[in-house]
Amino acid sequence: MCAATRPGLTRQTLIETALRLLDEVGLEGLTVRRLAAELGVQSPALYWHIRSKQELLDGMADAVILAAGMGPPHHGEAWQDWLARRARAFRQSLLAHRDGARIVADATWLGPATVRTFNDELAAMVERGFTPVLALRTITAVSQYVTGFVLQEQARRPGRQADQPSDPLAALTDLLDGDTDAPLLAAIRDGARTTGDDAFEHGLQALIDGTTAALAAHRT
């Protein structure tokens, strides 16, 4: 039996297997040859289902986005609550896979189901008083914020730990000419972080508040 027609070898199987392999080897280690070996076939067999590695990566990105549970707000759900819920689910979906944010950030095309669902979300926002432009810009801004935030969370920095000072706070104090009352030092002493749940929620709320103001200005 030809490997290309082997039962179970479908485009969806390729994408699911590639996502599992991504968690093991990361984006740099994910190759078509390695995926083919994982599936027990020769590399040319994969091209019956995908035309290029980029098409495979786009399919993986599509799967990650859909796994976040895209869709319009629930009945009676405020758009602010929906947008926050959508952003949190998207972040978790990106974090569920090693280099998940890079996969989505590098996507060049998404599938028809994702595009239709995205359009349904925009339509729901228009029903709630958004212009199509404001709806598109809002979801885009939130999605890009989430992707960028997770890119930072998932960043690999080999060798950086060895370069870190033993007492980062003291090193910063020296950089700030010994000003122990500097706002940066005060923020760090008070537990401020640029990553993690608290930082994510702060940025998300700022985006929602800004959108609320923009929508109010449009209505006046």
Euclidean distance between CA atoms 42 and 119, whole angstroms? 39
**Percent of all residues in the chain with a pLDDT value above 70, rounded to a whole number:** 92
Res 5 pLDDT > 50: no
Higher-pLDDT residue of 130 and 218 is 130
**Above 70 in pLDDT, residue 211?**
yes
Q: How far apart are CA 164 and CA 212, in angstroms?
A: 41
Mean pLDDT of 177-199: 82
Q: How far apart are CA 139 and CA 152, in angstroms?
A: 20
**Alpha-carbon gap, residue 48 to 82, rounded angstroms:** 39
Q: What is the pLDDT of residues 37-77, one digit of tens each?
A: 998 888 788 878 888 899 999 999 999 999 999 999 999 99
The one-character DSSP state at 88 is: H
Phi and psi at residue 177, to the nearest 5°:
60, 35
pLDDT, mean over the chain: 88
Rounded-to-integer distance, Cα 84 and Cα 64, Å: 18
**Dist CA 185 CA 200 (whole Å):** 21
Pairwise CA distance, residues 95 & 99, whole Å: 8
pLDDT in tens, 77-114: 999 999 999 999 999 999 999 999 999 999 999 899 99
Taken as a whole, the chain contains a residue count of 220
Flag whether pLDDT at 153 surpasses 80.
yes
* Residue whose C-alpha is closest to residue 137's, from 149, 125, 151: 125
The larger pLDDT score, comparing residue 143 to residue 4, is at 143
Query: Counting beta carbons within 10 angstroms of the beta carbon of residue 203, is it exposed (0 to 12), middle (13 to 18) or buried (19 or more)?
Result: middle
Q: What is the residue whose two structure tokens read 């608290």? A: 198
Residue 17, pLDDT score = 94
Task: State the first-to-last Cα distance of the chain, in angstroms, to the nearest integer.
Answer: 68
How high is the pLDDT of residue 51?
84
The per-residue pLDDT for 219 is 81
Q: Is the pLDDT of residue 167 over 80?
A: no
pLDDT, tens only, 113-123? 999 999 999 99
pLDDT average, residue stretch 7-26: 90
- pLDDT at residue number 175: 78
Tokens of 25: 């080897």
pLDDT of 159 above 70? no
Q: Is the pTM of this model over 0.95?
A: no
